[in-house]
Amino acid sequence: MTTFRPPGGGGTDDPGFGVYVHWPFCASKCPYCDFNSHVRHVAPDQERFVAAFARELRTTAARVPGRRVSSIFLGGGTPSLMLPATVGAVLDEIARLWTVGADCEVTLEANPTSVEAERFKGFRAAGVNRVSLGVQALDDADLKSLGRMHSVDEALRAVDVARRHFDRYSFDLIYARTDQTPQAWEAELRRAIAEAAEHLSLYQLTIEPGTVFEALHRAGKLKVPDAEMGRVLYDLTQQICSEAGLPAYEISNHARPGAECRHNMIYWRSGDFAGVGPGAHGRLTLGNGRVATSTEKHPETWLGLVEAQGSGVIAEERLVQEETADEFLVMGLRLAEGIDLKRYEALSGRVLDPERIAFLEGEGFLARLPGDRLKVTPAGFPVLDAVVADLAM
């Protein structure tokens, strides 16, 4: 099997090329989740899905040949429900179709309930060099209310297994949960930092449309902290993580310098990425410009489409110049490094209004950086949508 080494650096001028592979199955559906995930009482035919992944990869590679892959992300769903042989077959097909950089980051998402030492050993042998664990909380009562199937002890054992098999690992936590106090969140976050090697993803609980939590919230059966408390918890998160050497490099992601998730950086720097699997999205630069792709969400329907025509893509939109520039602005300003104004001008064909920039600087929401860069300040991040909307006018 192909051997991958842990990732190195990377500049913003070349965001890199990524491959995202979506495994759509979960053991159960969490009540807050709006991702494309499905529960099946009969285990999916992994050999059939491997063949379909390979075929859709081949179809995509024919459209964007000769690319150098700097990141591969196996997301879901729960990709750790895949067999190591399944993961290995997908990675080998990617390596056959494109040049995979020796420093390629290969991430696999895992739930603590599906973490087994032997399986992780198999994932490592298959070529995975980074794992991201869906821990979500370090409180058993809150784990239960979030619909998680693991306990705190199981989660920490999973982190330990990841630590023993991978040089790079990360885990997620959700905060601003029902009745969560700043004191409780501080204790939980400090405990998480003690377990984290280099990276944490920390998300405020949001009520997403179409979820069980939305129905409960609408019926008055689920309370979440108000905006004021959410801001207190956000500010506390930034303070504690910065003091611990894990500053935010993106609104919800914290890392030691150099340990940022390369795959997500491709998204936020508006790089190209292939999206493969049910419900996957992609951004590809073709001869006629940049296109946004999306595949069929329903797993078995996607499978049939790929077997019949080589791809499950059901929508493809050519992005006009303004859309490409707006996407670059929206995504890039999520990053602590900000955006290159010259690149924005090249993409959009126009300059951002100097008066609007000056006004937002004066309000403390924007700051200029050396090299003609623009970034959102810590004070601006909580109102990022408004800042971007003001700039894009």
Domains of the chain: 17-268 (3.20.20.70), 337-392 (no CATH)
Average pLDDT taken over every residue of the chain? 93
Least confident of 65-69, 116-120, 372-376: 116-120
Q: Does the pLDDT value for residue 10 go beyond 60? A: no
> Average of pLDDT values for 101-114?
93
Q: Does the pLDDT value for residue 83 go beyond 80? A: yes
What is the share, in percent, of the chain residues with pLDDT greater than 90? Answer: 91
Q: What is the pLDDT of residues 257-284, one digit of tens each?
A: 999 999 999 999 999 999 999 999 999 9
Does 1 or 20 have the greater pLDDT score? 20
Q: Does the pLDDT value for residue 244 go beyond 80? A: yes
pLDDT of residue 117: 74
Assign 379 a pLDDT band (cuts: 50, 70, 90): very high
pLDDT of residue 13: 64
Q: Does the pLDDT value for residue 147 go beyond 90? A: yes
Q: Does the pLDDT value for residue 325 go beyond 50? A: yes
Q: Does the pLDDT value for residue 219 go beyond 90? A: yes
Q: Distance between CA atoms of 25 and 13, rounded to whole angstroms?
A: 36
> Average of pLDDT values for 208-227?
94
> Average of pLDDT values for 158-167?
93
